[in-house]
Structure 1
Amino acid sequence: MDGVSAASGIAGLITLALQVSGTIAIYVKSIRERSKNVQELHDELLLLGEVLSGLRDFLASEQAKGRSFDNNSVLQKAITDCRDRIERIGDKLKPPDNSTRVSRALDKLRWPFEQREVNQMIENLRRYGQTFHFAVTIEGCNLLSKTSEDATKGLREMLGVSKKISELSAQMGLSAEESSKRASQIQQIMALIPMLAKTAVDMNELSHAARLAEVREQEKRITDILDWLAPVSWLHKHRDLQVKRAKGTGEWFLHHQVFKDWAGDDAAEHDLLCVGGPGAGKSILCSLAVDHLRARYQDKEVAVAYYYYDYSDQQLQSPVNLARSLLRQLSSNRHLVPSSVTEFYERTRNDIKDETWFQDLLGILRRVAATFTRFLILVDALDEADIRSQRSGLFEVLSALRSPSGTRVQVMATMRSHVLSVATRFHNAVTMDVTADLGDLRLFLTQVIGEHPDSVDTLDGDLRKQVLNTLCDNANGMFLLPALQIRTILDQITKSDVRRALSRLSTNLNEAFQSTIQRIRNLPKTRRDLALNALMWISHARRPFRPLELQQAMALRLDDADLDRDNFPPIITIIDCCCGLVEVDHESSIIRLVHHSLEEYLRDHNHGLFEDANLYITRICLRYLKLESLRELPFKNRHDFALVLEDMPFLEYAALEWGHHAYDVPTGRFGGLALSLLSDSLALITSARVRDHHNVDFRRWKEKAWAWAYSGGAGILIAAAFGLTELLKVLINENKDNLCLDARNMYGSTPLHEAALHGHESAAEVLIEHGADLVDVDYGSATPLFLAVSYGKLSMVRLLLEHGGPQLETPGPQGLSTLHKAAEQGNEEMVTTLLRAGALVAARDMYGMTALHFAARRGYLGIARLLVQAGAFVHVKDNDGLCPLDYAATGGYTDLVAYLLENGGNMWHKGREAWTPLHRAARGGHTQTVSMFLDRAADVLTADFKGNIPLHLAVRSGNMATVRVLLEHNPDFKRDQLFTRDKKGSTPRVVAFYTAHYDIHRNLRAAEWAVSGTEPGEASILTSAIERGDLSAVRAHLNIHQDSLHMLDVDGQPPLHVALQEDRRAIIDLLLERGASIESVGYHGWRPLHIAASLGNLDLVNLCLTHGASVESLTLTSQTPLHKAASGNSAAVVRRLIEAGADPNDRNDRGMTTLHIAAHQNDIQTVRMLVLEYEMDVLTRDRHKLTPAVWAERSGHLEVMAFLRGEMKKAKTVKKIRGDDQKISGGDEHMQMQMQMQEVESALSDPDVDDDPNPSMPEDSESARVQFV
């Protein structure tokens, strides 16, 4: 490419940079709290555009005439890579294609990047800028027209010259500024070149457009999964605290020895509890510690996660959501979301409000955490967590993480002193007192004063010093108190006013709040009423409001027929009138009180401000649900309904929360409005749709919703769900002639089901007194008792059991009993209650499992003890022939295994695969459990039906420690274990080889030589040298034994294969130079390209192809290199082989195509690529008539299965239409085509069409429901 062509390419890049900088400019104006960070990125893009303009002009000039730049030149690579990176920044700033006008407007307020991402972007853009600036000279242009290797060599020489010039200048007393700048510029370019080299490899993997599309699609999928796990709004509290931190504050905390002892690399494992009074700045210090630790451990296998409890958001902060938030942060630390997380996402994504799969979630969290060597969790404001559920939930999550998982978990928690009693539940807790640091206070107050526009005139030097001294002296260890007081000071107009205000400062928070409330009372009436109304709503709401929600709530009057939009109070006026007590969190766009202490004051203090707050909120909510503009909502399609929800956001709060506000309000004070709503079928449907508007099966939901709303029992069900007992009695009395206590909502729940799952005992009593059926089942086959057990409502369970009947014997979903469910959840108190009530310990579900099976599968030793003491048989088999001991061994629960063995467990029992418990522990790599079995004389030579002894399975686990324990425990059996062959004739060493556990393979080979007393042969000596990477030894050996180049070692491998397996590049080159064949045949007919492809190593694949390797070569089982690439989970290698001529439709001995194998291996990226880009047939079947989707399902790969089933649906539709086309004879061809296309469009675009019953839902099918309350 000549200079003119390169210049024209740069012109497009300039345009792109300016477009993206223009988009960023919008954020600079709308995101004040991080505008500096955003502005810097904006400015860097503009500067880059200017540099590119200069480069464009230079390349088009006479000076650059005659120069050429091929695709491998540094300059061309830099231009291409720079364009890709800027395009990706632009893509992230665009709202989704299907977003609405309102959501697009809101997206402009949400900055999609974290600060560390922006810092990295800025750094990269500067490197590009330096590189392009360097190119605007003859010398620089010549150098950057070369390849990366040659350019780097030249740059090093130039850097050396610059440094020498700097040294000479310094010796002569001359300025070295120019040479220093030159050296800095060269270093920036040299830092960029490795990035370009990686980009060059990426470009070889994929064509330019396809790669970008794939990367963006992958990013979107990752974002979808992470946002489903925990919406990014859950993490905004941290960003908000980052913004509030004054620069330079908190350093004392990071350098405190107690914190360093906790956070250090070699610190003893313990938890740290930071205890301080209200407003001491604990949350700010927590956020500072998070950022410090993330920066410190960003390149290490250490995960850092945080969780901020918040008084205003307790409804959202359930134990499930805590686990989800931690899992999101763990998953974000990896390039790809862990497969266990994507599978969980596919299985439960439509059951977002269901918490009965909590234990599954904890298991996944534990597995993902185990991929890190250390997990640091920072928990803020534990005192703001609900005592009954949130605090106990935290310790349940921590307990799950700290169960044997291979990772080290450390917790830092901040709290007030009154909850310090929980210290015993932490691990070796060390306590640290936290008070506001005076130095930090001065920095903070100085920053606030400096940002105030009038401070220059009002506060001169001496007065400013007096203000700082007075506020710091009165702080009493608190940040919040002076933070509130400085607002009062800065509101003063004259210096005398400032001095008077200083003399009247309060000395504690309550006095400060009272003083501020008094200032509000002194406002003009309209502004006073506005402020007090806002404070009432914000302090008493069950969750935080977004500004528009608050405006709508405050605008509505009880006698309004509809919403008066002209009555919306401006948010800025609300904040101003509240005199600093209210703020808007710009990251999450919620409006909130400035501190938890203020919420406590407004709710609990005896100030008489909001005595009837809940009554007022209840009435407004009920009135809102009856607005005239909502009457047509039941008839709107989903798109239009969603638009209304965006436009009227308070609708969701009113529908879901009115009953909670009404709970402690006398029914007579709101009953009229409630009865009006509950007797209005259309209003009930609207409320139900608000709750369930994301329901995937809307058609069926709609039919059931209309039937429920007109059943005559809908109002009773809602009253029962909210626990409004007196209102429930009124409704029962009004409908006593036609009482419908069996009316079902959209999920088959009766009023008693709803009361049971929410734990409303008095409502349940009323329903039972009036004849509610205790054993009625919902659409998920759950009784009220089963739901009460599932949701942990112990008091409700006891109440229901008092009424007897066959509740305990009535089977629930999948034949589960209530005892099964309680055992599965690990609830010892619930299990005890059910056992005392007569629950059958021998009851079996549809799979033949008892409650003890469930306890063993989860590893619950305490539950197992209760069940065994109640008479449960330990040696009882399920339908697969598995006993509780099998499940405990599979999970590696050593203590539980020991208990079961002591109480009748059979160590020699064999299940369906003829595996003993030792086989299962070995397959899981559970070294401690294996060791315990060996101490009890378990048989290490017993074989399963495939001939595998435990060592074979330990090898498959890849755990070297487990392999060693089996071999070394009893030397008498070592030889027999090493040389035992399975029914395919494979020893454990051979199994290690073909499962690619090469480290285990080497150890087993050495062990075989040792017990046999044999010396390695000539070929094996060469193999060992290759494995060590000893190039000199390999060369020397080949010089003496030239024929060993083609000799096979004990594993049937020629030297080239071994070098490829070990990725020894220099040795590979040597062997090829000496004449090693790129088509040499090794173990099982593998060629070098098979090995490179199975490793997923693109460089090795390219090397093999360069030397003429055939993409059509076959192993003894007809596997092509493409099959092996699919087994190796490498989409890049798969693409490279296809581009080299490999046919993805080739079949192995089992009739499997590349798509079958990729589906079986859970490689969603390769599966999508094969289907969407290479148009592979998703309906294709192997020799056993299995489709790729069936392979995915059998392997439990739900995300792959869901994608393939969706594509199969499309393919079947198209196939059907093509078949119909062949049947059509005559007629207008154009009209036929038009009809067919309409049919395809209709079939593929209807989101309600789904023939996939999703067989892999959570074990409790009832748990798929979304409760309506």
Structure 2
Amino acid sequence: MGAGLSNALQRRRERYQVKRDRNATADDRAGPERQDGSSVKTEPIAPITDFIETDQDSEGSPSTGLPQATAPQVFEPVEIGNYVSTPLVGASTGGDILSKAQGVSFQGFTAITSIVNNNAAIQPDNSEKDSDLVKKILAWISDINYHAIQADNYRKRAAGTGKWAFEDPVISKWLKGAIHILWGVGMPGAGKTILSSIIIDHLTQRAKTNKRICVAFAFSRYTEPFTGEEVLSGLLRQVVQDHPCALQFVKRKYEDHLLHGTRMPQAEVLEVLTAIFNSDLFDEKFCALDGLDEALADTQVDILDTVSELPVNFLIMSRPLPLLKELVPEATLIDIKINDADIKQLIEEKLRRMATLRDLLKEEGMKEVVLRTVVEKSSGMFLVASLQLNMLGGSLHIKALRAALDALPVGVNDMYQATMDRIKTQEGADLALGALAWLVYARESLSMEMLRHALAVETKTFTYDSELLVNSNTLLSVCCGLITFEPQTNLVRLVHFTVREFLVTYLSKAGLTHRPCWLASFVEKFILECQRFPWVHPISHEFDFLNSIQVAAACNFHSLLARWLGSDPSPTNYAPPSNLDLNSRSAKGRTALTLAAVNGHLETAELLIGVEGVDI
């Protein structure tokens, strides 16, 4: 992480120098200033006008493809579903994209002028064709569903928690638009993601009653390492989806890229977002990103560069990242710590599900003792507090409860160790260990059904037995709070990325490592038979075709490669490839080492670099 971040920062500094040189002559043309001193673009931006042809010149800027400004004109409101919007200052009368957007009808002067100028009638509202076009454009912009992730995160909160945030003077100031960038930092498990979801929900509820408020959000998670381009595209999709009037900024881009089967690169997405936010569509604009620390190093730098450029109020949540603070020196930092009131709400929520503990806390003064002890020993980490309450739930009487309080571990790793000790002593320990191993080493996020069926496979014979299927609630229970199920995305995950960091070491000591010796013989045979295996590049998403050595490297089967290369004397199920050429190239010219590096497989890359004669 350190080397990757340093390289990313260096590349960022070089880009910044080029940008500064390019803009050096523009100082005397700077426009009005925001409260924070940075210039703001204030000229009107006219919409694209090519949905209904006009006699006017409606071409966009040849360099950007975005609409050019025209002389201000005033028209009647435009109705979008249940929302009546005042058209853009400088809007054309030529029947722009809104005339074809789903649920749009023009009124009065706008409709009449469009008919006169174009000698054509406005298309009927809500046509199936237009609805399909909007869906296609949204899917083209991004296929990431951040709304589903937000719904799952918000569901995990304990009722009544997070109210303090709206009384906090710094957060309140940001919500009023007085702070450009608010960066919430806290230790792992401090409740940053839940707090983000609470603030996002507050903003989206406001936006439902006022369409002049724009809200977009994103989440970075270690299981889905989104690029900066994907994050920005996800934000743009939300803006267009929630505000059809913003389609005008995207439609021409969509048509251009449709011809080539491509999507907008990061710079182009940023350009469109900036144009939308600089227009007069919105009075208030908010964006939020949770989990910046879980993103790749390059993505972190890209996002922070973008944050400083976008004319929106931006909220970031992450662990402390002091090396990145220099990228956004104007950001206001706020510490995210566990709140006593939230702990009390968490206890109340847990008690509804723990009848035995609920009865024990009826003893005079015991609830206050539990509250005080958990606040002290959780060290400001909401996740630890939740796991501690799970441990207290096993107490059968007051004496056991007092002993459990005394024995509560302090710190996240000690808490995870205590939870694993608890798992090992219960029935279903093997099931829990298997589930945790799958979630740690799976190459992609798993649905609950996928995990249930994976655990129904005998690991020694690799045979599936439907009678080994377990109930999802049972699976969640035996893992003692270390995994969580998200019904909106239908995914099961480790409760926090720090659980994975702990389990990688723990499972290796327990002998449950991700070793290719787990491969069934038919899997090894399949790899050997690969000559032109179709493979998708994780960043460019282009197709390539790989041979068996390249497949093994791309999939991180480093132990299998080690046995093929003779550095591991362990036997294989089948003889190695007859032509073991590590420098062989795929259809797109990639070697096994290149594929290992592109996918971030350190073990495989180190193995291949150590082989004499390999091209580096």
> TM-score, with normalisation over the residues of structure 1?
0.34
Give the partner amino acid of 1:539: V
Question: Would you say the 8 A contact 1:720–1:751 is kept in 2?
Answer: no
> Aligned equivalents of 1:364 and 1:529: distance in 2?
52
> Aligned equivalents of 2:379 and 2:463: distance in 1?
50
Runs (5+) with no aligned partner, structure 2: 1-80, 83-104, 113-121, 566-573, 600-604
Report what 2:342 is aligned to.
Answer: 440
Shift of 1:521: 0.8
- Residue of structure 1 aligned with 2:287, choices 356, 373, 377: 377
Shift of 1:532: 0.8
Report what 1:262 is aligned to.
Answer: 174
**Cα deviation 1:787-826 (Å, max 9, x = unaligned):** xxxxxxxxx9xx6xxxxxxxxxxxxxxxxxxxxxxxxxxx
Does structure 1 residue 226 correspond to structure 2 residue 138?
A: yes
Runs (5+) with no aligned partner, structure 1: 1-119, 122-197, 403-407, 627-672, 696-700, 771-795, 800-1269
Report what 1:303 is aligned to.
Answer: 214
> Aligned equivalents of 2:432 and 2:265: distance in 1?
43
Residues 689 and 264 of structure 1, relative CA distance in 2, 3 Å threshold = closer
Question: Would you say the 8 A contact 2:232–2:270 is kept in 1?
Answer: yes
- Residue of structure 2 aligned with 1:421, choices 323, 335, 344: 323
Q: Map 1:690-769 onto structure 2 (within 5 A).
A: 714-719=547-552, 721=554, 727=561, 730=565, 734-736=577-579, 741=584, 744=587, 749-752=588-591, 755=594, 759=598
**Cα deviation 1:123-159 (Å, max 9, x = unaligned):** xxxxxxxxxxxxxxxxxxxxxxxxxxxxxxxxxxxxx
Residues 491 and 215 of structure 1, relative CA distance in 2, 3 Å threshold = farther
Q: Specify the SS of the correspondent of 1:477.
A: coil
Q: Map 1:484-883 onto structure 2 (within 5 A).
A: 484-524=387-427, 527-557=428-458, 560=461, 563-603=464-504, 605=505, 608-609=508-509, 611-615=511-515, 619-620=518-519, 626=522, 674=524, 676-679=526-529, 714-719=547-552, 721=554, 727=561, 730=565, 734-736=577-579, 741=584, 744=587, 749-752=588-591, 755=594, 759=598
Shift of 1:373: 5.5
Shift of 1:430: 1.7
> Aligned equivalents of 2:147 and 2:312: distance in 1?
21
**Cα deviation 1:3-48 (Å, max 9, x = unaligned):** xxxxxxxxxxxxxxxxxxxxxxxxxxxxxxxxxxxxxxxxxxxxxx
> Aligned equivalents of 1:581 and 1:391: distance in 2?
27
> Aligned equivalents of 1:484 and 1:762: distance in 2?
38
Question: Would you say the 8 A contact 1:306–1:379 is kept in 2?
Answer: yes
Residues 607 and 542 of structure 1, relative CA distance in 2, 3 Å threshold = closer
> TM-score, with normalisation over the residues of structure 2?
0.66
Report what 2:60 is aligned to.
Answer: none
**Cα deviation 1:948-978 (Å, max 9, x = unaligned):** xxxxxxxxxxxxxxxxxxxxxxxxxxxxxxx
Give the partner amino acid of 1:304: V
Question: Would you say the 8 A contact 2:214–2:286 is kept in 1?
Answer: yes
Does structure 1 residue 481 correspond to structure 2 residue 390?
A: no
| The structure with more strand, counted as a fraction of residues | 2
Report what 2:276 is aligned to.
Answer: 368
Report what 1:394 is aligned to.
Answer: 303
Q: Specify the SS of the correspondent of 1:312.
A: coil
Give the partner amino acid of 2:193: S
Shift of 1:577: 0.9
Q: Specify the SS of the correspondent of 1:507.
A: coil
**Cα deviation 1:598-641 (Å, max 9, x = unaligned):** 222212x567545552215x734x66xx4xxxxxxxxxxxxxxx
Residues 199 and 734 of structure 1, relative CA distance in 2, 3 Å threshold = closer
Q: Which has the larger radius of gyration?
A: 1
Shift of 1:529: 0.6
Shift of 1:214: 3.1
Q: Specify the SS of the correspondent of 1:501.
A: helix
Report what 1:278 is aligned to.
Answer: 188
Residues 230 and 563 of structure 1, relative CA distance in 2, 3 Å threshold = farther
Shift of 1:688: 5.8
Shift of 1:296: 4.1
Residues 491 and 337 of structure 1, relative CA distance in 2, 3 Å threshold = farther
Does structure 1 residue 250 correspond to structure 2 residue 162?
A: yes
Report what 1:891 is aligned to.
Answer: none
| The structure with more helix, counted as a fraction of residues | 1
> Aligned equivalents of 1:398 and 1:509: distance in 2?
31
**Cα deviation 1:1088-1111 (Å, max 9, x = unaligned):** xxxxxxxxxxxxxxxxxxxxxxxx
Q: Specify the SS of the correspondent of 1:412.
A: strand
Residues 721 and 521 of structure 1, relative CA distance in 2, 3 Å threshold = closer
Report what 1:341 is aligned to.
Answer: 250
> Aligned equivalents of 2:355 and 2:124: distance in 1?
47
- Residue of structure 2 aligned with 1:460, choices 332, 357, 362: 362
> Aligned equivalents of 2:258 and 2:465: distance in 1?
38
Question: Would you say the 8 A contact 1:536–1:610 is kept in 2?
Answer: no
Query: How many corresponding residue pairs?
Result: 482
Question: Would you say the 8 A contact 1:379–1:412 is kept in 2?
Answer: yes
Q: Specify the SS of the correspondent of 1:277.
A: coil
> Aligned equivalents of 2:424 and 2:259: distance in 1?
49
Question: Would you say the 8 A contact 1:309–1:385 is kept in 2?
Answer: yes
> Aligned equivalents of 1:721 and 1:247: distance in 2?
45
Shift of 1:466: 3.7
> Aligned equivalents of 1:737 and 1:721: distance in 2?
16
Q: Specify the SS of the correspondent of 1:513.
A: helix
* Superposition CA RMSD, Å: 4.4
Percentage of pairs with the same residue: 22
Question: Would you say the 8 A contact 1:270–1:427 is kept in 2?
Answer: no
Report what 1:330 is aligned to.
Answer: 239
Does structure 1 residue 312 correspond to structure 2 residue 223?
A: yes
Residues 213 and 715 of structure 1, relative CA distance in 2, 3 Å threshold = farther
Question: Would you say the 8 A contact 2:174–2:182 is kept in 1?
Answer: yes
Report what 1:472 is aligned to.
Answer: 375
Report what 1:235 is aligned to.
Answer: 147
Q: Specify the SS of the correspondent of 2:223.
A: helix
> Aligned equivalents of 1:491 and 1:732: distance in 2?
53
Shift of 1:394: 1.2
> Aligned equivalents of 2:304 and 2:421: distance in 1?
42
Report what 1:411 is aligned to.
Answer: 314
**Cα deviation 1:1029-1082 (Å, max 9, x = unaligned):** xxxxxxxxxxxxxxxxxxxxxxxxxxxxxxxxxxxxxxxxxxxxxxxxxxxxxx
Shift of 1:437: 1.1
Q: Specify the SS of the correspondent of 2:288.
A: strand
Shift of 1:369: 3.1
Report what 2:75 is aligned to.
Answer: none
Give the partner amino acid of 1:513: Y
Residues 393 and 451 of structure 1, relative CA distance in 2, 3 Å threshold = same
Q: Specify the SS of the correspondent of 2:446.
A: coil
